[in-house]
Amino acid sequence: MAAPVPFSWVRGEVHLDVLLGVVLLAAAYTWAAVASRRPAPLGPPLAFFAGCAALLAALNGPLHDLSDYYLFSAHMVQHLVLTLVVPPLWLAGTPGFMLDALVGRAASLRGLAPVLRWLTRPLPAFAAFGVALVAWHLPGPYNAALETHAWHVVEHLVLLGASVLGWWPILSRSERLPALPYAGQILYLFVFGMPMTVVAALITGAEHVLYPYYAAAPRVFDLTPLADQQLGGVIMWVPAGIIPVVAFTVVFFRWARAEREADEAA
Q: What's residue 185's pLDDT?
A: 96
Which residue range is the domain that position 75 belongs to? 16-265
pLDDT value of residue 34: 92
| 8-state DSSP, 68 | I
Q: Is 123 a member of any domain?
A: yes
In a domain, 164, yes or no: yes
Amino acid 109: pLDDT: 75
Note down pLDDT in tens along the chain; length 266 residues: 555 567 777 778 888 999 999 999 999 999 999 998 888 788 999 999 999 999 999 999 999 999 999 999 999 999 999 999 999 999 999 999 999 998 888 777 777 888 999 999 999 999 999 999 999 999 999 999 999 989 999 999 999 999 999 999 999 999 999 999 999 999 999 999 999 999 999 999 999 999 999 998 888 888 999 999 999 999 999 988 899 889 999 999 999 998 888 878 76
The pLDDT value recorded for residue 143 is 93
Which residues contact residue 67 at a Cβ distance below 8 angstroms, ignoring those fewer than 6 apart? 74, 75, 77, 78
232 found inside a domain? yes
Instruction: Specify if 249 maps to a domain.
Output: yes
Identity of the residue numbered 96? G
Q: Answer whether residue 3 is part of any domain.
A: no
> Does 130 reside within a domain?
yes
2 falls within a domain: no
Structurally, the chain folds into a number of domains equal to: 1
Question: Can you list the alpha helix ranges (DSSP code H) found in the chain?
Answer: 16-36, 43-59, 61-65, 72-80, 86-93, 96-107, 112-119, 122-136, 139-147, 149-171, 182-192, 194-205, 212-215, 225-265
pTM of the predicted structure, to 2 decimals? 0.93
Whether residue 6 lies inside any domain: the answer is: no
DSSP string computed for 91-154: HHHS-HHHHHHHHHHHHTSTTHHHHHHHHTSHHHHHHHHHHHHHHHTSHHHHHHHHH-HHHHHH
Whole-number pLDDT of residue 135: 96
